[in-house]
Amino acid sequence: MVRARSNAGRTGDYVDPRQARRAASALPHDGVINALAETFRALADPTRIRIIAALSERELCVLDLAAILNLTASAVSHQLRLLRGQRLVKYRKEGKAAFYALDDIHISHLFAEGIRHVGAG
């Protein structure tokens, strides 16, 4: 058994130091970990999940999203701004209207996997 120092300064034991080294070397760097945590934080709100669900079906304008979600356009715009900041949704302008869609196929896959994970799909 090999002794190892943890981040908290305590010493722990590895049962298989080779496997532990492999696992440690496979960890993403801190920038990726932090960005992923921010993505999951953005998705940790039921309203934003409903927006992602609606947009997983088709592109929608703010007014349509507001009607679907029974929210004000202002409330929906606020949530969309947060989702845009995390690159989860994108928009295009058509005249005065802004149409929103999921940023890319990865977001659709992430949402679908989440649905499968909780057993609702």
- pLDDT tens for each residue of 81-107: 999 999 999 999 999 899 999 999 999
- pLDDT tens for each residue of 42-91: 999 999 999 999 999 999 999 999 999 999 999 999 999 999 999 999 99
pLDDT at site 9: 47
67-82: buried (b, 16+ CB within 10 Å) or exposed (e) per residue? eebebeeeebeebbeb
Query: Exposed, middle or buried by CB within 10 Å (0-12, 13-18, 19+), for 24?
Result: exposed
pLDDT mean over 30-36: 94
**Cβ atoms of residues 5 and 11 within 8 Å:** yes
For 35-118, CATH gives: 1.10.10.10
**Residue 108 above 90 pLDDT?**
yes
Round the average pLDDT of the chain to a whole number and report it: 89
